[in-house]
Amino acid sequence: MNRIKRSLILGSAAILMHAAHAEELAKPALQWSSSGFVHPESVAYDSKRDNFYVTNNDGGPMAQDGKAYISRLGKNGELLEKSWVRGLNAPKGIAQYEDSLYIADIQQLRIVDIPSGKVTQTITAEDSKMLNDVSVDKQGNVYVSDVVGGGIFRLQGQTLSKWVESNAFSHPNGLFVDGNRLLVANWGEGMREDFSTDTLGGIYAVDIATKKVEPLPGAQQIGNLDGITKIRGNIIVSDMLAGKIMQYSNGQTKPLFDSGKGSADIASYGDNLLVPVMPEGKIDSYTFKP
């Protein structure tokens, strides 16, 4: 068996193992909707506090004016604090780990102490252009995508450095740690100034131990992908420009529902899906009923 064929077989077997427990999802029901945000790009759920955190990208995607902020919501989407964390530039992806929030802010990773609501550290990613999404593994290692410059950075201890740079994807956007692999939602190839692309993006898996990159079969050139998460074993992605939510399982991608153009960095908790819709300044929470 030649090396390429063997690699494809092993890669497909690994993907099938991850998809083995996927349950079919039907169109979800809207649980609640919270509005009044300014270009909300990302949302994260904090199970310890039963809170949600929303990045408000006030001032544009590359603003350097310190006007942006993080909002804090209650478990039913009620606004607890609109400007909970202040002084950010253009925050995008956000992830919670223990008592810390990690926020991608252009070329910097901001670390917020949740009990105090204060930025305690700002770490610059050298050679980055526009940091986008954040995900954290069980060991506390933080992964950050650079959607404009390409590549994925990793924070280990106090060092934030380029971890993966792959020819497979030029504009990695959404990230989701899935066991021993990092799922990557690629925006597309040949990105222009207006963020349109020559080729639509797809989903990739990066082996965390070896850094080997594998495209997921049946999930290539499917959209301008922004957020990525998992619900009941299914990979869920958002196509921001088309305003669609899609499901990937068992080697196939299919549309789930229209969420509105500008649907950005989705997140999930249990059977619930959180969708920030940037132009409308809202967060929609959907639930997939058994």
pLDDT per residue as tens digits for the range 9-50: 445 555 545 555 677 788 899 999 999 999 999 999 999 999
Check pLDDT > 50 for residue 2: no
Identify the band that residue 5 occupies on the pLDDT scale cut at 50, 70 and 90.
Answer: very low
More confident site: 127 or 136 = 136
Q: What percent of the chain has pLDDT over 90?
A: 82
Question: Given this model, what pLDDT does residue 3 score?
Answer: 40
Domains in the chain, CATH or no CATH each: 3-287 (2.120.10.30)
SS3 content of the chain, % helix, strand, coil (to 5): 5, 55, 40
Q: Mean pLDDT lowest for which of 108-112, 163-167, 221-225, 269-273? A: 163-167
Distance CA 231, CA 22 (A): 8
87-116 pLDDT, tens digit per residue, is 999 999 999 999 999 999 999 999 999 999
Q: What is the mean pLDDT of the chain?
A: 92
Confidence grade of residue 6 (pLDDT, cut at 50, 70, 90): very low
Q: With 90 as the cut, is the pLDDT of residue 157 above it? A: no
Rounded to the nearest 10°, the torsion over CA 207, 211, 212, 213 is 80
Buried b (16+ CB within 10 A) or exposed e, 20-55: eebeebeebeeeeebeebbbbbbbbbbeeeebbbbb
Type of residue at 156: Q
Q: Is the pLDDT of residue 7 over 50?
A: no
Q: What is the mean pLDDT of residues 212-218?
A: 97
Supply the Cα-derived Rg of the chain in whole angstroms.
18
Mean predicted confidence (pLDDT) in 211-236:
97
pLDDT in tens, 57-84: 887 777 788 899 999 999 999 999 999 9
Name 108's bridge partners.
105, 124
pLDDT attached to residue 18: 56
Which has the higher per-residue pLDDT, 23 or 163? Answer: 163
Position 284 pLDDT exceeds 80: yes
Task: Say what the pLDDT of residue 9 is.
Answer: 46
The pLDDT score that the predictor gives to residue 33 is: 98
Q: Which residue shows structure tokens 């299919």?
A: 254
pLDDT, residue 27, reads: 87
Pick 172 or 126 by higher pLDDT. Answer: 172
Alpha helices in 160-230 (DSSP H): none
